[in-house]
Homo-oligomer: A and B are copies of this chain.
Amino acid sequence: MCQPVRVAVSVSAPPVCVLGLGLIGGSLLRAAVAAGRDGWGWNRSAGPVDAARADGFDADTDLVAVLRRAADAGALLVVAVPMPAVDATLAAIAEHAPGCPITDVVSVKAEVAAAVARHGLQDRFVGGHPMAGTNESGWEAGDADLFRDAVWVVSADDGVDPEIWTQVARLALDCGAVVVPAESVEHDAAAARISHLPHVLAEALALSGAAGGDLALGLAAGSFRDGTRVAGSAPGLVRAICEGNRDALLAALDETLDVLARARAELSDEGTLAGLVEPGFEARRRYENRERWTITGIEPGSENWLERMRDAGRRGGVLRP
């Protein structure tokens, strides 16, 4: 079984054991190995394992064997299975590699953190979420450069082990990403605003266009095309990410329903949309002009480091290699 890692830069880059070899897990294994890390993977079904092996990677369908190897090597475990499979994966980890540091790449952070706690693994766990993806899925769609310059959220929740936190951040950096430190609940609220709400609005807009029949769809130009683009994503995938972040999405949706209701009243009563359009333009400009700045001088484990990391993340700071 792996021993608790006690810092030192040399041990912050242990081998990586990727559990789940889909688009994200498969890209992560490729990226970690390309960065010089030792790494291997597991997948429940044989197809991705065979494909990974054919591409020269170390992969297996035997979860117990893979986890025991990870325990022996002190590997960083990366949970990269779909949300419905997270519980079973964590149960196996608790049985066969309970001492290994653990992270995940499963999108919604609070739900995963709760599952981790149910299995008593919270002391070894630091959640992660690389904000990258394509419309494709599966090992074959993976790419060692998928995370290049992407944002990778690393959860800065109370009680996390600073050494494991550093290991997870190091993995993200090794994969080419920049790291945003954020509390799980803040991550989920932000993701609802900028990832899940856009899907909900795109679906609603697509429905409005189609309700106008072929005349409306035939007149549609760029604003409709772009506004509905993500409604073309696989429904199962959209539902999984949105439904998995239900509470935060409901809060964001309620806020937006209020905004729209106020705009509706303004348009109906006064004939103007100034109260929506002027601040909406400023909001888009703020998005366009956002800048990443580099967080420096916060040593994981130092006094108030979590509060300082979270504060920096809230203000747009990122960790770079």
Contact = CB atoms under 8 A, between A and B. Distances in A.
Contacts of A254: 264
Contacts of A197: 205, 208
Interface string A74-102: 00000000000000000000000000000
A193 B11 CA distance: 57
Interface residues of A, number: 97
A259 to B, nearest CB: 5
B255 A208 contact: yes
Given A203-B277, A231-B283, A198 B219 contact: no
Given A204-B256, A215-B190, A216-B194, A273 B226 contact: no
Interface in A195-240: 195, 197-235, 238-239
B214 A316 contact: yes
Contacts of A180: 215, 218-219
A205 B228 CA distance: 13
Nearest to A260: B204
A198 B206 CA distance: 10
A318 B252 CA distance: 41
Interface string A267-299: 110011110111111111111101010000000
* Number of copies of chain A assembled together: 2
Interface SS of A by simple majority: helix
Interface string A159-190: 00000000000000000000010100011011
A234 B212 CA distance: 27
A251 to B, nearest CB: 10
A264 B182 CA distance: 27
Contact of A194 (B212, B231, B273, B278): B212
A267 B235 CA distance: 15
B243 A206 contact: no
